[in-house]
Amino acid sequence: MIIPKYPEVPRLTDNQIEEMTKIVFCEETELKNNDVIFVFGTTHPGSYENALQAYKKGLGKEIIISGGTSGSPDKHKDWIYGDKSEARVLFEKLAANGVPIEQMILEDKSTNSMENVIFSKEIYDFSKTKSIIFISKNYALGRQLRTLKKYLPKNIRYTAYGYNTYFDDDTTFHRHDWMNYDKGKSLVFGEYLRILFYGKIGYIEELSEPIKGLEKYTDPLFH
């Protein structure tokens, strides 16, 4: 099933908005030092900027950069690298800004979030990893967290480190104001549906408590 990026959104209560924010954007947690910085590939420059910032702050000792060549036509407007892999571009930018290449692990074959994690697992031993800070678009953090939890060892502590994105008119949105924009509500609701659906079919860790009152919109996903 393909879930639209901008599905129709029901009228949401304040409680539903609060729950959806925690599920889609992750819980806000204190930043701590970690063993690994995990970067989900993308054409968005925020990924590189956050990865560099996290490294310079000492929030991770090693950086795993995962992402192949994006086949999506929805590339960021500032992407000028053609068919070069997302991970390779991130790797080169980080190296050019002082991150030692021996501290970076490059995975450049994956084409989606699940492959980001599975293919990285093939080239990096996570068995001794105790903590990971992961970098992604703000509204994808919840799905990425559940992808990591599905495929990596269960004892790892995770910290989300997201970057804000914007709509076509350059309006930015984040966890505190997405509900103020029709497009923001649609995008976040679509992410919630993906988390629910991918969890049910076993692609990511399943959501333990779906949001109550939205069954009219979520039940059709499984029939």
pLDDT of 69: 84
Low pLDDT (below 70) residues in the chain: 1, 70-73, 79, 168-170, 223
94, 107, 164, 79 alpha-carbon torsion, rounded to 10°: 70
DSSP run (H or E) holding 148: helix 141-151
Beta strands in the chain (DSSP E): 36-40, 62-66, 104-107, 131-137, 157-163, 165-166, 172-173
CA distance 11 to 42: 31
- Please say whether the beta carbons of 53 and 35 come within 8 A: no
CA distance 53 to 14: 34
Model confidence pLDDT, tens digit, residues 103-120:
999 999 999 999 999 999
* β-strand partners of 66: 40, 107
pLDDT of 170: 66
CA distance 104 to 94: 9
119 to each of 8, 113, 149, 184, how far by Cα in Å?
Answer: 34, 10, 15, 31
Domains of the chain (ranges; CATH) run 31-176 (3.40.50.620)
19 to each of 27, 46, 166, 175, 213, how far by Cα in Å?
Answer: 10, 26, 22, 11, 12
The alpha carbon dihedral of 9, 12, 15, 18 has a sign of: positive
The pTM of this model reads 0.92
Residue 156 φ/ψ, nearest 5 degrees: -80, 135
* pLDDT, the chain, mean: 91
DSSP run (H or E) holding 216: helix 215-218
2: which residues sit within 8 A by CB, 6+ positions away? none
pLDDT of 72: 65
